[in-house]
Homo-oligomer: A and B are copies of this chain.
């Protein structure tokens, strides 16, 4: 079962991408929904205005193109909300009503938001006069919400001979209530054309009954400190959208913005509300979020085009750096860490120390140096896991870190037996001074553990765990090749190779892999944080190489 929510827009096409189905599809995508579109008319427009509107021509109507598009979508794709934008003429409105009524005969139509587009900002007529009657009589009764702006509301009110002049916030609340009689479940009268103040909002909300006020982007109580650099001037210009539902009115207030990036604002708002409704049925919440989304779209817009430019539809998204795990790529994060600096990783994994060890020709002195310094290093390593346990928040995490410490301590005993075979005594292990490469690496683990969070510490610890796992598996792979240079029989280091490629160690590698993958998936990093994680990983890669460089130098 798909969890994707689908939203259908029935509207005109805006080639310049800022309004119409183009704006709708961008808005729907920005809400994580799947967008489909049925086109009512083509326009040639850009940010300077509408140059031409091309209605669907007669032979298209014969073929019922609009209805055909709608059926083609609804028959195939489960649709969770629908919005209508520019419908242009009465035939289109009828086609929409007919298609929806036919498809949902006897069933519930999903939330339907109707933006009764009549006139473009640049003054171009976008709805034929004859279409209004059909819109009101046939489409409105099917809708959950209509979203007229001031001129559209005035046009609709005068259509039924109702008082239509809207010039204040109070007029807006009355007009919204009157429009509610037209048959939609709710009316959102958009306030972009009327600038008001907090004083007027207070007056209207105190005077009326059942009026709620929902602010956005304004300082509310107990935010005195934010007045550093922000003002809360009671005379500041505000914009208010008025939502009228049976028995209650809600005012959505926000600061007025002086901006030319307003092309497609109405399309964007209705598409945002529809997308919200596709996820969750609560209308008030959907309008609140839709208004906030649109407001921020205007505020964060960059200038595009020469005239009234489009909103920024993508302000609420950011790049996801680590791809989702899939059956063919189960470790996307670890891949990125390794590929981030593949050369450094290779220099570590295929280090001369490792090659000579695999051949069995590694000077004994190099190995003795390494094994003694590794003893010192493992003390840091165990302590870093203790720090990880101390930093953890769940018994599972505390237990898992502690188990690793116990494993290291157990390993130390077999380590000592192994050392004895190389003539390394307990006294040598304890009393040979720690070398710089050892301190550098060990202290780095502790330092990262002090400075960062548990995930960052895990990056450092796992670079070590996974690196030795890789060395073990790489040697094993080389051994399996024909004419392998890896010597097994009589190799003094066979036990070491077996240990790191064996099931016990590789089991720990698998757990470690899954741990960092799940951490990165549960808390996807920002670019800055990802860079920090990568830096830790690469630093450890270099420190590991330095460790073996030192062993070779000591040979």
Contact = CB atoms under 8 A, between A and B. Distances in A.
Interface of A: 1-4, 6, 13, 15-17, 21-22, 25-26, 29-30, 32, 34-39, 42, 44-48, 51-52, 54, 57, 59-60, 63, 65, 68-69, 72-73, 75-77, 217, 220-230, 255, 257, 296, 299-300, 302-307, 310, 313-320, 323-324, 326, 328-331, 334-335, 338-339, 342, 345-346, 349-350, 390-393, 450-454, 456, 466, 469-470, 473-474, 476-477, 506, 509-510, 513, 522-526, 528-529
Contact of A16 (B72, B313, B317, B450): B72
A77 B222 contact: no
Nearest to A469: B225
Contacts of A6: 304
A487 B362 CA distance: 84
Contact of A255 (B54, B305, B328, B509): B328
A76 B46 contact: yes
Contacts of A39: 13, 15, 42
A261 to B, nearest CB: 10
Contact of A320 (B34, B48, B72, B316): B316
Given A2-B304, A228-B513, 7 more contacts: A22-B36, A25-B25, A32-B319, A48-B76, A57-B60, A224-B476, A318-B320
B304 A315 contact: no
Contacts of A217: 328-329
A470 B318 contact: no
Contacts of A63: 52, 54
Nearest to A59: B57
A258 to B, nearest CB: 10
B228 A506 contact: yes
Q: How many monomers of this protein are in the complex?
A: 2
B313 A29 contact: yes
Given A25-B17, A525-B526, A72 B57 contact: no
B474 A224 contact: yes
A545 to B, nearest CB: 13
A391 to B, nearest CB: 5
A304 B34 contact: yes
A44 B39 CA distance: 10
A83 B47 CA distance: 21
Contacts of A525: 526
Contacts of A37: 13, 15, 17, 22
A279 to B, nearest CB: 13
A331 B45 CA distance: 37
B528 A523 contact: yes
Given A2-B302, A25-B17, A46 B350 contact: no
A323 B295 CA distance: 11
A401 to B, nearest CB: 13
B314 A29 contact: yes
A454 B77 CA distance: 48
A346 to B, nearest CB: 5
A221 B350 CA distance: 11
Nearest to A221: B346
5 contacts: A46-B73, A47-B76, A221-B346, A296-B326, A318-B319
Contact of A453 (B47, B257, B453): B453
A225 B453 contact: no
A233 to B, nearest CB: 11
Nearest to A229: B330
Nearest to A511: B228
B15 A470 contact: no
Given A65-B54, A221-B346, A16 B77 contact: yes
Q: 3 nearest interchain CB pairs?
A: A224-B473, A46-B76, A2-B302
A303 to B, nearest CB: 5
A520 to B, nearest CB: 10
A96 to B, nearest CB: 14
Contacts of A52: 63, 65, 68
B59 A72 contact: no
Contacts of A318: 317-320, 524
A223 B510 CA distance: 13
Nearest to A302: B2
A377 B251 CA distance: 44
Nearest to A3: B302
A102 B512 CA distance: 60
Contacts of A314: 29, 32
Nearest to A449: B450
Given A25-B17, A54-B60, A304-B4, A226 B46 contact: no
Nearest to A56: B42
Contacts of A230: 328-331
